[in-house]
């Protein structure tokens, strides 16, 4: 099992008696240390179920589980590999009862939270304000404050109002037996802190805790970790201070600084060899991160050879940039033997930048997936509809119930729902089952009961009819009838401040319904538009598979597709060929000079948008490198985080890297002139740089076609 580990990695893997920190740059094999250490711990006799490995995303957890399986086989499935949040769920499902939570508590997503907040404030609030509240409440929760404490730290009248709303919000969550994303860390922390028997149980249970991407933990996560490992402190944290990119969400490098102080026995291991990227790529990365202050000095080297120079690609507009990226991908795929679509990634800062790339890839008929952003199934309107589908399929799905009953609003107030929630908890029933309980009339007024019964009967009726609706045509009619019944189109237009947005949402809804109907078979159109006859399925069967799809979308990672991803979501991953797009001053770094950090407050936590702080649509800097004013401390810190983001992006690439920028970029509705990012100049400190020359690509393509014409392709391992 020592195969494929260098000396320093082995040292970290073999040190199992106490606290260990592996601090090293990108691609140096930190994650590999974690998987091998899991194997090592099992080898020396620790039961797999007593090992917890904490990663940053579900996707990273899935990948780690796979890698561990490759090393140790079936035992890997008993290791608890999960995110901090999933670990929180586990703790609360097992021991949340002492906090008054039933084991089937629901987890609210961002949309649920927004609508509860709006409701708590009387329902007249616009979406942007509700998101702002959510952001502030989340910030407080991450600081470990409850509503009463928030009231005392509130800085102004606005914050005092938010603290009051937080109080109502918390009451509602309790009544609904629901928790939000932040509670998944905050409540377990409370559980371990305030209940010694629960704390001891978990400290005994967990023989070793491993944490990947440690630099991105926030204060509450660190506290949770400390309580989990206790005095014995058997844990391994791996991280890279240069890749800390979640500062805007409360992650703090203080956690790295505190570690040696809180754990004097801490063993620190540094890794210096990068096994991922060529020297040309690594040099560009080192150059960009160079100006940042260092927590611990480290130098990275690679033995993979110089490799191809890093390319700079300029384009006129985003659309042009996307076309050039797609042409590059096609060219590389043709000239680099045996590359597959999944060897390519296009990375950018914010979700909305995916769009031109999606269009260009579709046009070229290249398969792709959008990761870390709003995939179709994550859109609010699609999730609304899926909540209904989930309820048809499983009446006891409480979060789906709560969402469907309020979307669109049907005059069932939150007091009624809170009473129903309390009743359901007392009688250990799901909300749907509670609604038909013979004892409910004793606690609810007749009018409220009438509304609930009507809703329940309607859902039952829909589910029954969906089970008898066969084929595309019937399904289409059914879905249209249902949407008209519930007034969904009206709901979209009422809820959205801009008509254009509402129309876009409605068009997504129609898209989705059409796609569902097609899946019901019968007389349908195939990809080329020809009419064919296929086996028919009932709408309920199709709803079943779709309801499942919405919960497992993270699994689709093995497909042979090009990845489009935000930089934040690309952390920890690698691809042979990477295009870093939108490396334009004002985008990356993001408006560093003119907004003093304002955009951070605009992005609500955990929303898809929050994965990369999104610029408010109406402001843009247009400030180039030439007009830079004096920098404040806050600006300097933001620039450091931008630099780390760029560093994360560059270091995802294994063999080739292109950075592209546009000469024009959107500012509100206008196009304004733009300049290449200052980071491009910083990368270009040596001759590793070269401008993209279209003629060169054409030559490579010609050569490749000539070669292929001569020799048939043979199977080769992936690079
Ligand atoms: P990041 O900072 O981006 O999360 P990391 O430090 O976690 O990177 P890994 O993902 O573990 O790095 O490793 C990077 C690549 O190098 C992987 O493809 C991994 O398999 C390979 N690698 C790591 N260590 C070795 C080694 N000792 N020998 C050969 N390959 C290695
Ligand atoms: Mg890693």
- Both tokens of 559, joined, read 């497909």
Pairing of strands 664-667, 670-673: antiparallel
Q: Do domains 7-93+186-271 and 107-176 have the same CATH topology?
A: no
Domain spans of the chain?
7-93+186-271, 107-176, 301-367+559-707, 378-551
Closest ligand (CA of 271): 1
Pairing of strands 368-371, 562-566: parallel
Q: From start to end of 72-166, where are the E strands? A: 80-83, 106-107
Q: Does pLDDT of 598 surpass 50?
A: no
Choosing from 25, 29, 644 the residue with most ligand 1 atoms within 8 A of its CB, the one to mutate for a pocket test is 29
Q: How far apart are CA 331 and CA 165, in angstroms?
A: 55
Q: Whose CA is nearest to atom 19 of ligand 1?
A: 29
The H-or-E segment that residue 52 falls in is strand 51-55
Which of 259, 329, 319, 263 has the alpha carbon at shortest distance from 295?
259
CB 10 within 8 A of CB 273: no
Q: Whose CA is nearest to atom 29 of ligand 1?
A: 4
C-alpha angle with apex 133: 131 to 135, nearest 5 degrees?
Answer: 70
Q: What is the pLDDT of residue 622?
A: 26
**Mean pLDDT value across residues 153-168:** 91
> How far is the centre of ligand 1, averaged over its atoms, from the C-alpha of 31 (Å)?
7
CA dihedral 260, 266, 267, 270 (to 10 degrees): -30
Q: What is the tens place of the pLDDT at every residue in 254-289?
A: 788 888 899 999 999 999 999 999 999 999 999 999
Q: What does the mean pLDDT of the chain come to?
A: 82
Among 38-52, 134-148, 355-369, 682-696, whose mean pLDDT is lowest? 682-696
Q: What is the pLDDT of residue 553?
A: 42
Closest ligand (CA of 10): 1
- Both tokens of 402, joined, read 């709560």
Q: What is the pLDDT of residue 115?
A: 79
Span 378-551: which CATH code?
1.10.486.10
Atom of ligand 1 at shortest range from CA of 274:
16
Q: Which CATH class is domain 7-93+186-271?
A: alpha beta
CA 703 to chain centre: 41
Residues 6+ apart with CB under 8 A from 629: 593
CB 225 within 8 A of CB 211: yes
Q: Does pLDDT of 95 surpass 70?
A: yes
Higher pLDDT, residue 296 or 491: 491
Q: Whose CA is nearest to atom 4 of ligand 1?
A: 572
> How far is the centre of ligand 2, averaged over its atoms, from the C-alpha of 55 (Å)?
9
Q: Whose CA is nearest to atom 24 of ligand 1?
A: 29
Q: Whose CA is nearest to atom 28 of ligand 1?
A: 4
> How far is the centre of ligand 2, averaged over its atoms, from the C-alpha of 213 (Å)?
7
Q: How far apart are CA 693 and CA 578, in angstroms?
A: 17
Q: What is the pLDDT of residue 131?
A: 85
Among 88-102, 134-148, 355-369, 612-626, whose mean pLDDT is lowest? 612-626
CATH architecture for the domain at 301-367+559-707: 3-Layer(aba) Sandwich (3.40)
Q: Does pLDDT of 36 surpass 50?
A: yes
Ligand 1: residues within 6 Å at CB? 4-6, 9, 24, 26-32, 240, 243, 275-276, 572, 574, 651
- Both tokens of 477, joined, read 């009619």
**Cα torsion angle, 223, 227, 231, 235, sign:** negative
Higher pLDDT, residue 105 or 378: 105
> How far is the centre of ligand 1, averaged over its atoms, from the C-alpha of 76 (Å)?
20
Among 28-37, 117-126, 443-452, whose mean pLDDT is lowest? 117-126
Give 251's strand partners: 218
Choosing from 25, 26, 27 the residue with most ligand 1 atoms within 8 A of its CB, the one to mutate for a pocket test is 27
Q: Whose CA is nearest to atom 30 of ligand 1?
A: 275
The H-or-E segment that residue 511 falls in is helix 499-519
What size, in residues, is the chain?
A: 719
Closest ligand (CA of 644): 1
- In the three-class reduction of DSSP (H, G, I as helix; E, B as strand; rest coil), residue 125 is classed as coil
Question: Model ipTM?
Answer: 0.99
Percentage above 70 pLDDT, the chain: 85
Q: What is the pLDDT of residue 533?
A: 83
Give 270's strand partners: 23
Which of 239, 272, 271, 243 has the alpha carbon at shortest distance from 258?
239
Q: Name the DSSP class of 470.
A: B
Catalytic sites, residue numbers: 30-31, 212-213, 243, 652
Radius of gyration of the chain (CA): 27
Q: Does pLDDT of 528 surpass 50?
A: no
Q: Does pLDDT of 129 surpass 90?
A: no
> How far is the centre of ligand 2, averaged over its atoms, from the C-alpha of 239 (Å)?
8
Distances, alpha carbon 428 to alpha carbons 368, 390, 425, 500, in Å? 44, 21, 5, 44
**Mean pLDDT value across residues 115-126:** 79
Pairing of strands 310-315, 178-179: unpaired
Q: Does pLDDT of 567 surpass 90?
A: yes
Statement: 107-176 belongs to CATH 1.10.10.160: yes
Q: What is the tens place of the pLDDT at every residue in 190-240?
A: 999 999 999 999 999 999 999 999 998 888 899 999 999 998 899 999 999
**Cα torsion angle, 96, 101, 106, 112, sign:** negative
């Amino acid at each position: 099992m020592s195969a494929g580990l260098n000396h320093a990695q082995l040292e970290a893997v073999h040190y199992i008696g106490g606290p260990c920190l592996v601090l090293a740059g990108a691609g140096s094999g930190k994650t590999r240390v974690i998987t091998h250490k899991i194997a090592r711990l099992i080898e020396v006799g620790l039961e797999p179920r007593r090992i917890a490995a904490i990663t940053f995303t579900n996707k990273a957890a899935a990948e780690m589980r796979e890698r561990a399986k490759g090393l140790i086989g079936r035992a890997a499935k008993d290791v608890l590999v999960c995110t901090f949040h999933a670990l929180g769920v586990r703790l609360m499902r097992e021991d949340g009862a002492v906090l008054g939570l039933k084991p089937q508590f629901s987890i609210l997503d961002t949309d649920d939270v927004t609508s509860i907040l709006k409701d708590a404030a009387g329902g007249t609030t616009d979406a942007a304000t509700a998101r702002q509240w959510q952001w502030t409440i989340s910030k407080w929760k991450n600081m470990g404050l409850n509503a009463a404490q928030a009231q005392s730290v509130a800085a102004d009248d606005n914050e005092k109002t938010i603290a009051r709303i937080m109080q109502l919000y918390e009451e509602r969550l309790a009544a609904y037996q629901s928790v939000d994303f932040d509670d998944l860390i905050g409540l377990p922390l409370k559980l371990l802190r305030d209940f010694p028997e629960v704390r001891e149980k978990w400290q005994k249970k967990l023989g070793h805790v491993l944490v990947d991407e440690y630099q991105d933990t926030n204060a509450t996560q660190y506290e949770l970790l400390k309580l989990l490992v206790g005095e014995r402190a058997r844990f391994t944290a791996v991280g890279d201070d240069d890749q800390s990119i979640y500062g805007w969400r409360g992650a703090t490098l203080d956690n790295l600084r505190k570690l040696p102080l809180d754990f004097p026995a801490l063993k620190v291991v540094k890794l210096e060899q990068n096994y991922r990227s060529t020297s040309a790529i690594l040099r560009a990365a080192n150059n960009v991160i160079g100006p940042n202050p260092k927590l611990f000095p480290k130098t990275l080297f690679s033995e993979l050879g110089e490799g191809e120079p890093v390319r700079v690609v300029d384009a006129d507009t985003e659309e042009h940039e996307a076309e050039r990226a797609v042409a590059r991908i096609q060219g590389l795929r043709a000239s680099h033997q045996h590359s597959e679509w999944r060897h390519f990634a296009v990375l950018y800062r914010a979700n909305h930048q995916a769009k031109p790339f999606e269009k260009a890839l579709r046009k070229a008929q290249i398969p792709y997936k959008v990761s870390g952003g709003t995939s179709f199934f994550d859109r609010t309107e699609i999730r609304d509809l899926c909540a209904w589908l989930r309820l048809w399929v499983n009446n006891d799905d409480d979060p789906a119930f709560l969402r469907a009953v309020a979307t669109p609003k049907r005059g069932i107030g939150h007091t009624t729902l809170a009473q129903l929630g309390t009743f359901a908890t007392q009688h250990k029933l799901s909300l749907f089952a509670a609604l038909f309980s013979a004892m409910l009339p004793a606690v609810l007024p007749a009018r409220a009961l009438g509304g609930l019964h009507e809703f329940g009967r309607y859902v039952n009726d829909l589910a029954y009819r969906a089970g008898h609706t066969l084929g595309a045509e019937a399904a289409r009619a059914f879905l249209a009838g249902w949407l008209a019944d519930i007034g969904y189109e009206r709901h979209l237009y009422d809820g959205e401040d801009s008509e254009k947005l509402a129309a876009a949402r409605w068009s997504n809804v129609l898209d989705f319904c059409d796609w569902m109907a097609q899946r019901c078979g019968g007389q349908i159109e195939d990809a080329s538009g020809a009419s064919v006859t296929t086996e028919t399925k009932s709408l309920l069967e199709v709803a079943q598979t779709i309801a499942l799809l919405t919960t497992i979308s993270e699994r689709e990672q093995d497909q042979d597709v090009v990845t489009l991803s935000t930089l934040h979501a690309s952390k920890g991953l690698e691809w042979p060929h990477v295009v870093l797009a939108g490396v334009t001053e004002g985008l990356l770094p993001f408006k560093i000079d003119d907004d003093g950090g304002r955009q951070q407050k605009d992005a609500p936590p955990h929303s898809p948008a929050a994965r990369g702080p999104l610029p408010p649509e109406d402001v843009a800097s247009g400030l180039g490198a030439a007009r830079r004013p004096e920098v404040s401390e806050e600006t300097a810190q933001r620039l450091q985080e931008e630099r780390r983001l760029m560093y994360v992006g560059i270091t995802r690439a294994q063999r080739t890297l292109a950075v592209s920028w546009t000469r024009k970029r959107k500012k509100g509705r206008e196009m304004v002139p733009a300049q290449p990012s200052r980071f491009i100049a910083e990368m270009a400190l040596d001759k590793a740089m070269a401008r993209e020359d279209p003629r060169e690509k054409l030559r490579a393509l010609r050569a490749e076609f000539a070669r292929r014409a001569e020799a048939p392709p043979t199977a080769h391992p992936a690079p």
